[in-house]
Chain A
């Protein structure tokens, strides 16, 4: 089974990499197969999660309220029928209201705490960079202020800070993509061809 899996995996890698030569039907076929496998896997997990989180409490603990999310969840499927699609708004509203309320906790973790962390003592160039850099980068986003010399120059400096920030992200994103290629090559050379120690 392990040999079969390894050979199947290697064939998949070549099928996908064939796209680098030129677009072909083999690549599009495995692309569709991948989407199908992903959808099948998500169905399996969805059913198991519903069974564990709603069905088990309903049947073993007699928690009658567990029926409510199951009904709301089934109502989501009315979205597929044009005439009854409006019914799906009820469970969607539940999810959206919940998500919106949970995201409001960012006021403490991403707003207050981050401002606190940027208020450091200016006893080094680095600390100055940290505080001033944050302030300058924030100034760049003041689009509704009447332009004047201060906001123009501060905004430009803030843009440079943001460019350094995006440059770091760019460097690391290249690093990440390269790691994925290296892992693929390790799989082919070690597990498939056995030429790597």
Chain B
């Protein structure tokens, strides 16, 4: 009981230190806890696997820097998977900071030998959230008059025959808020019946699960960094997300221990108060 009381009265900064140690230790000394692939991640992998070489896929960078570390690893591994299959990728962003992630990803793959305009294209950013997505769905060149290099999208081989969002074989959207899966389903999927797979921050995972169950999403990476790690394992491309999972495990356990100890303390304090009143 003394330990419990001490835990209850401890300066909160000690809790921060404990959490920090539990996160940093496995990063320096990896434990190697195996990672299983969930069914929603497997569905996403399958949706990209169904694509053939030469198919056009739209990759949407709808994430802000606040959730970037959670979602960017998802986008990177999906992009790597698609390009490794010979799928051609068109990048867009409807969140301002998403443009930065899209540009970095595009530059990285061009430096690795992909041809800009044939294998990969960066259309840039359009403001207006749902308004821009709806306009994009109906006529891509109406909203993206020029790509990031100042040329008309139709001048590139990758955009041949692509006029609306429905002309893509698959749309993969990565989001940290609005716009997110709901906006894309409302404006594009319902109208054009194009397959949509989404990657979101962990907070948004549960609220988008109904779309996966109803079939409006063909795949969902709903666990943030964990889903990115699962995807990396599924396609045999381990990266930073996989390396972070040991720290995720110990961090979760630490918070759970705090919750359990806090509740035991609560029950003890309530019993003592009842005893005092009696």
Q: Which A residues are within 8 Å of any B CB, using their own CB?
A: 20-21, 41-42, 45-46, 49, 52-53, 56-57, 95, 98-99, 102-103, 105-106, 108-110, 113-114, 116-117, 130, 165, 168-169, 172-176, 178-186, 189, 195-196
Which A residues lie within 8 Å of B251 (CB)? 178, 181-182
Cβ contacts B173-210/A at 8 Å (1 or 0 each) = 00000000010011101100000000001110111001
Which A residues lie within 8 Å of B23 (CB)? 178, 181-182, 185
Task: For B30, give the chain A residue with the smallest CB separation.
Answer: A197
- Does B27 interact with chain A (Cβ within 8 Å)? yes
Task: For B134, give the chain A residue with the smallest CB separation.
Answer: A102
Cβ contacts B138-167/A at 8 Å (1 or 0 each) = 000001111000000000000000000000
B interface size (C-beta, 8 A): 56
Known contacts A102-B131, A102-B134: A117-B225 contact under CB 8 Å: no
User: Closest approach, in angstroms, between the C-beta of A15 and any C-beta of chain B?
Assistant: 16
Task: For A173, give the chain B residue with the smallest CB separation.
Answer: B203
Cβ contacts B11-25/A at 8 Å (1 or 0 each) = 001001001100110
User: Closest approach, in angstroms, between the C-beta of B119 and any C-beta of chain A?
Assistant: 23
Task: For A55, give the chain B residue with the smallest CB separation.
Answer: B145
Asked whether, in the complex, the Cβ of A196 is within 8 Å of the Cβ of B28, the reply is: yes
Asked whether, in the complex, the Cβ of A99 is within 8 Å of the Cβ of B130, the reply is: yes
Known contacts A103-B130, A182-B251, A186-B27: A169-B186 contact under CB 8 Å: no
Asked whether, in the complex, the Cβ of A180 is within 8 Å of the Cβ of B186, the reply is: no
Which A residues lie within 8 Å of B99 (CB)? 45
A130 to B210, CA, bound (A): 10
Taking a contact as CB atoms closer than 8 A, the residue among A49, A102, A130, A175 that contacts B226 in the complex is: A175
7 additional A-B residue pairs with CB within 8 Å, beyond A56-B145, A172-B202, A182-B251: A45-B96, A53-B126, A102-B186, A174-B252, A176-B70, A182-B69, A182-B244
Cβ contacts B208-222/A at 8 Å (1 or 0 each) = 001001111000001
Task: For A169, give the chain B residue with the smallest CB separation.
Answer: B206
Among A52, A165, A176: residue with most chain B CB under 10 A: A176
A72 to B205, CA, bound (A): 38
- Does B125 interact with chain A (Cβ within 8 Å)? yes
Asked whether, in the complex, the Cβ of B203 is within 8 Å of the Cβ of A105, the reply is: no
A119 to B31, CA, bound (A): 45
Asked whether, in the complex, the Cβ of A116 is within 8 Å of the Cβ of B214, the reply is: yes
Asked whether, in the complex, the Cβ of B213 is within 8 Å of the Cβ of A21, the reply is: no
Taking a contact as CB atoms closer than 8 A, the residue among A21, A106, A117, A195 that contacts B186 in the complex is: A106
Asked whether, in the complex, the Cβ of B224 is within 8 Å of the Cβ of A179, the reply is: yes
Asked whether, in the complex, the Cβ of B24 is within 8 Å of the Cβ of A189, the reply is: yes
Known contacts A179-B225, A181-B23: A117-B210 contact under CB 8 Å: yes
Cβ contacts B239-277/A at 8 Å (1 or 0 each) = 010011001100110010000000000000000000000
User: Closest approach, in angstroms, between the C-beta of A136 and any C-beta of chain B?
Assistant: 15
Taking a contact as CB atoms closer than 8 A, the residue among B67, B126, B190 that contacts A176 in the complex is: B67
Asked whether, in the complex, the Cβ of A180 is within 8 Å of the Cβ of B69, the reply is: yes
Taking a contact as CB atoms closer than 8 A, the residue among B69, B124, B187, B214 that contacts A102 in the complex is: B187
Which B residues lie within 8 Å of A98 (CB)? 131
- Does B127 interact with chain A (Cβ within 8 Å)? yes
Asked whether, in the complex, the Cβ of B214 is within 8 Å of the Cβ of A179, the reply is: no
Asked whether, in the complex, the Cβ of A183 is within 8 Å of the Cβ of B244, the reply is: yes
User: Closest approach, in angstroms, between the C-beta of A158 and any C-beta of chain B?
Assistant: 16
A176 to B16, CA, bound (A): 17
Asked whether, in the complex, the Cβ of B27 is within 8 Å of the Cβ of A182, the reply is: yes
Asked whether, in the complex, the Cβ of B226 is within 8 Å of the Cβ of A110, the reply is: no
User: Closest approach, in angstroms, between the C-beta of A147 and any C-beta of chain B?
Assistant: 29
Task: For A60, give the chain B residue with the smallest CB separation.
Answer: B145
